[in-house]
Amino acid sequence: MKILIVLPPFFPATDVGATIKQILPDAEITTSTGFEQSSAEVLVATTFTKVDEELVSKFPSLKFVQIASTGYDNVDTEALRKRGVKLSNIPTANKESVAEHVITVALAQLKNLLYFHNEIVSGNWPFLTNSTELMGKTFGIVGMGAIGKRLAERLLYFGANTIYFDPVKIPEEEEENLGISYSDMNSLLSKSDIISLHVPLTKETDRFIGEKEFEMMKNAAIFINTSRGEVVDEPALVKAIRSKGIRACIDVYSHEPPDPESDLFKAPNVIFSPHIAGVTVESQQRFITDTIANVLKYVQGLEPSYQVLR
């Protein structure tokens, strides 16, 4: 079975390719989709490759697409569905790194690290602080998938009061094990001291958090987005930062790289990162191994894991 793997140009293709070739020696690896046609039955890509109808049309024999990422909003699922092509993602490889990132930036905001850093490098020495603790805070998780669950597990050790919203309520036994309780979305927004988004980008979640939702939040609440930029109405976020003192931690943007002249970057008390919440040395290795393992399952005639389209 012919396999084509498309890597982004900035990836260490030699190192990654060497790992892949050890297990899939016949796989073809490329950093370009400029070819006219491919006879591959399996396409492996990252979120940096747009798997749209134009690309899919270049694969007359395509049967399976594997995205080496949690998100798959770069894929035209309708184009695959029309062709009867299966689609899988890898939703668990970065759950550790995203959970750690969320807690890191939440603590940075609670402990006023940005303020203290800027004061000290400016030659000042603050004597007073209004820093607060994570213990006892109400932490709202929006989306209880693999990442949301891992975050809840981590928060157990901090003594946070964790509530969650998800369209599908998880079993009570699992809620007890995670130390979480279900909340409707409006209550979560109004009760939480910290809110973290962990939802995929879909038609339903596009601009999911807007002016109305920010208005429900507490003044000076901490708002964290490591999901997708389009889930949040950016102008509404900027307004909430300025009018309600919302302390934001933003890892994802509607356009990446974002416009450096955006009003968002002029807003106070915001921690920015370049879509790397899930990117660690360890998570990238897991993405590679989990992706290869899933492709091997399909090649060997087994049902691949994490199927989005069957």
- Active-site amino acid positions: 228, 256, 275
Residue 1 contacts residue 25 (beta carbons within 8 Å) = no
Calculated CA dihedral for residues 76, 79, 81, 82, nearest 10 degrees: 170
Q: Which residues contact 34 (CB under 8 A, 6 or more apart)?
A: none
Main-chain phi, psi angles of 288, to 5 degrees: -65, -50
User: Residue 9: which of 41, 34, 37 has the closest Cα?
Assistant: 34
Number of residues that make up the chain: 310
Q: How far is CA 216 from CA 168, 204, 244, in A?
A: 22, 20, 10
What stretch of H or E contains 152? helix 146-156
Distance CA 285, CA 160 (A): 31
- Cα 50–chain centre separation: 17
The secondary structure of 105-139 as a DSSP string is HHHHHHTTHHHHHHHHHTT----------STT-EE
